[in-house]
Amino acid sequence: MFSYGFSFGSARTHSPVPPPAAELPTIRELPDPFQQSDGSRLTTTEQWNHQRAQLQALILGYQYGQIPAERGPVTAVESSSAAHPQLPARISQVRLTCGPAGQFSFSLLVVAPKPAARRFPAIVSYSYGHDTSIWARVVDRGYLLAEFDRNEIAEDRPGGKNALRSYYPQGDGGRLAAWAWGFQIAVDYLLTRPDVAPERIAITGHSRCGKAALLAGAIDQRISLTCPNGSGCGGAGCYRFTPPGTEDLAAILGARPDWFAPHLAEFIGCVARLPFDQHTLKALVAPRALLSTEALGDLWANPEGTQQTYLAARKVFQWLGVGDRIGIHYRQGGHDHNLEDWLALLDYADYIFFSKPTRRHFHHLPFPANHDLIPWSAPHEGVVSTPKRAKHTSKVQL
């Protein structure tokens, strides 16, 4: 039985320095998320919260770096607020300031449906040029939208400022961690608004912001629905399954090393030593909801590998009795976050938040399932089992 031979502290504490990649075992398939750090497997669903904390510490330690659970007091000052001339919405600019000494601040643009006499489900997103055609659809469906510019939190250029590192200098969080932290601060603020339904907060992001959105959704239990779009490598993609034309670990770290924690570079050329893959990150969202929106022509973002991580993570969701809370949606076309992606998110959100029926397929799989990649299955309640190894033919339910 394989054991990691170590475990991390909780995400709230300092993690010990993780063992170097060279000391970790090679796991060619997607690592078993039901396996605990001592090598035994989970036996009951009550153990999931503890296992999730362990897996989270592993993923932050090796991949993204630390994200402090404390964000200090977050204060909000509205600098402008006006009715939109065409939309039934009020547009406000809110300055959020964070940290004990008010170390840094960034703006949130809030598009709130009118009249504000009730609580709306909310979507936090990155700023994407204020595309009012998307605003119109979001507001029309009765959702509030809050957008922020990631560059105000961590500049998207080598050597650029990273507020997370200034706030938490002893940490090793890269830019993705900082942007994920930005999503969390936006949620801190939304939870204070009288027009936001606290149990109906969704987040979405595209590409690098999709990676950050998935990370934020994985670690923050207040986020009810997480939707990474075209997030690929370091997001909803897969490190171990990279068809030709797909971005892999060496490519992303060659171009963007500071998006990640320094430890990740140890795995270049030996990704099979990673004690997790991105299905593990997706599984952390459970039992809350997760939708990946993908494009079939977006090869760089690994649409096929994203299906593999979906299939593997779904086993955790199903085990927890929430198999319908993980979805995947493919459209034709390339790397973009377009109206079709947004409409898929809104339909899924309506289903998750309001049980509205939808004709859209959130479990349709365009690629063949690679069963060899997922040789394990969910534990049976009360049965202590050991992990199966490669040649198993566990059938993935379609």
Binding residues (CB under 6 A) for ligand GCU: these are 207-208, 232-233, 247, 252, 255, 300
Distance CA 175, CA 155 (A): 8
Distance CA 285, CA 382 (A): 23
Nearer to ligand GCU, 63 or 92 (CB): 63
Closest to 184 in 3D by CA, of 61, 52, 104, 67: 67
Nearer to ligand GCU, 197 or 299 (CB): 299
Taking each helix axis from N to C end, the angle separating 278-285 and 303-319, rounded to the nearest 10 degrees, works out to 40
Shortest distance, CB of residue 352 to ligand GCU, whole angstroms?
A: 25
| 3-state SS class at 96 | strand
Q: First and final CA of the chain: distance in angstroms?
A: 30
Distance CA 44, CA 10 (A): 21
Closest to 66 in 3D by CA, of 184, 211, 140, 174: 174
Nearer to ligand GCU, 110 or 176 (CB): 176
Shortest distance, CB of residue 249 to ligand GCU, whole angstroms?
A: 11
Token duo for residue 62: 């090796």
Taking each helix axis from N to C end, the angle separating 208-219 and 278-285, rounded to the nearest 10 degrees, works out to 50
Alpha helices in the chain (DSSP H): 48-59, 132-140, 163-167, 175-190, 208-219, 249-255, 278-285, 303-319, 339-354
Shortest distance, CB of residue 306 to ligand GCU, whole angstroms?
A: 12
Nearer to ligand GCU, 61 or 232 (CB): 232
Shortest distance, CB of residue 237 to ligand GCU, whole angstroms?
A: 9
Shortest distance, CB of residue 28 to ligand GCU, whole angstroms?
A: 24
Contact 307, 243 (CB under 8 A): no
Nearer to ligand GCU, 195 or 247 (CB): 247
Nearer to ligand GCU, 260 or 310 (CB): 260
Nearer to ligand GCU, 336 or 372 (CB): 336
| 3-state SS class at 349 | helix
Nearer to ligand GCU, 335 or 392 (CB): 335
Token duo for residue 21: 């990649």
Shortest distance, CB of residue 267 to ligand GCU, whole angstroms?
A: 16
Nearer to ligand GCU, 201 or 295 (CB): 295
Distance CA 213, CA 203 (A): 6
Shortest distance, CB of residue 55 to ligand GCU, whole angstroms?
A: 23
How many other C-beta atoms are found inside a 10 Å radius of the C-beta of residue 222? 14
Shortest distance, CB of residue 253 to ligand GCU, whole angstroms?
A: 10
Contact 295, 333 (CB under 8 A): yes
Shortest distance, CB of residue 302 to ligand GCU, whole angstroms?
A: 10
